[in-house]
Amino acid sequence: MNYELSGQTVARDASFANEVIEATGVRVDRCYQCMTCTLGCPVADVMDYPPNQVMRLIDLGAKETLLRSRTIWMCVTCETCFARCPNQIDTAAVMDYLREEATAQGVEVPEARIQLLHRVFAENIKSFGKVHEATMLMAYKLKSKDFFSDMGIGLKLFLKGKIPLFPSKVKGMQEIKRIFEKTYDKTFGGRS
């Protein structure tokens, strides 16, 4: 079967749905397009493809379209979609998979700041074992070159003693290092 996407005729490819089911255990093939997920999604209006369309694109095999979508980065895993799905499809878990694939493949993503924030956060844990807000936010600001947004809020929190200057580090840092080496570093190859 052929379908139209962004003005182009593309052949349906069922292998992608199988890949998603294999990787996540989520039975995306149960979706019957009732749109309950999209109705409850708090960020559907800022997605390029709302959650029900993500299910349809998986069915069609449009992997590339999804890996380059804004949708997968706007999803905050609130799991409202899964809570309400009559077919128990954990759409949010599928979003996790698509984000991981996009990051591992080095796809240029339209919401680079969100991806960067996740990476900076994870790498902050790699450095200290815990999150140290000051260095994490500093790294995010430097890498995103977004120096000025929320400076007022940041300053208020700092003055209220809610952003400690010094990080507290886990003693078993070699264990944290081992976890990262066997997971994150292996997939992303230390690429930053």
Partner 1 sequence: MKFSYYPGCTVHSTAIEYAKSIDAVLDVLGIELKEIEDWNCCGAAAAHSIHRQLGLSLPARNIAQAQKQVALSSQLITSCPGCFNALKRADYALRNDGETRQEIENVVGFSYSGEVKIRSLLDILNNDVPQESLTAKVKKPLNKLKLVCYYGCALVRPQAVTELDNPENPMMMDTLMDLMGVDVRDWSYKTECCGADLALTHGDLVQKIVGRLIEHAKDAGAEAIVTSCGLCQANLDMRQTGPDPLPVFYFTELMGVAMDVPNRKAWWSKHIVDPGPLLSRLGYE
Distance from C-alpha of 116 to C-alpha of 184, rounded to nearest angstrom? 14
Using CB under 8 A, which residues numbered 23 to 82 contact partner 1? 25, 42-43, 46, 74, 76-80, 82
- 3-state SS assignment for residue 29: helix
Helices (H), the chain: 15-24, 36-40, 51-60, 63-67, 71-74, 80-84, 91-104, 112-128, 133-144, 151-159, 173-182, 184-188
What does the per-residue mask of binding to partner 1 show for 100-129, with x meaning CB under 8 A? x--x-------x-xxx-xxx-xx--x---x
Q: Which of 71, 93, 72 is CA-nearest to residue 82?
A: 93
Nearer to partner 1, 10 or 43 (CB): 43
Nearer to partner 1, 15 or 174 (CB): 174
Smallest separation, CB 7 to partner 1 (Å): 29
Nearer to partner 1, 5 or 172 (CB): 172
Residue 166 identity (one-letter amino acid)? F
Rule CB under 8 A: is residue 138 a binding residue for partner 1? Answer: no
| Distances 68 to 15, 16, 104, 110, 177 between C-alpha atoms, Å | 19, 15, 13, 7, 31
Q: At what angle do helices 91-104 and 51-60 cross, to 10 degrees?
A: 60
Q: Which of 18, 56, 143, 184 binds partner 1 (CB under 8 A)?
A: 184
Smallest separation, CB 94 to partner 1 (Å): 12
Rule CB under 8 A: is residue 145 a binding residue for partner 1? Answer: no
Distance from C-alpha of 43 to C-alpha of 52, rounded to nearest angstrom? 13
Smallest separation, CB 100 to partner 1 (Å): 6
**Residues 48/70, Cβ–Cβ less than 8 Å:** yes
Smallest separation, CB 118 to partner 1 (Å): 4
> Under the rule (CB under 8 A), what is the footprint of partner 1?
25, 42-43, 46, 74, 76-80, 82-83, 90, 96-97, 99-100, 103, 111, 113-115, 117-119, 121-122, 125, 129-131, 133, 137, 140, 149-150, 153, 156-157, 160-164, 168, 170-172, 175-176, 178-180, 182-184, 187-188
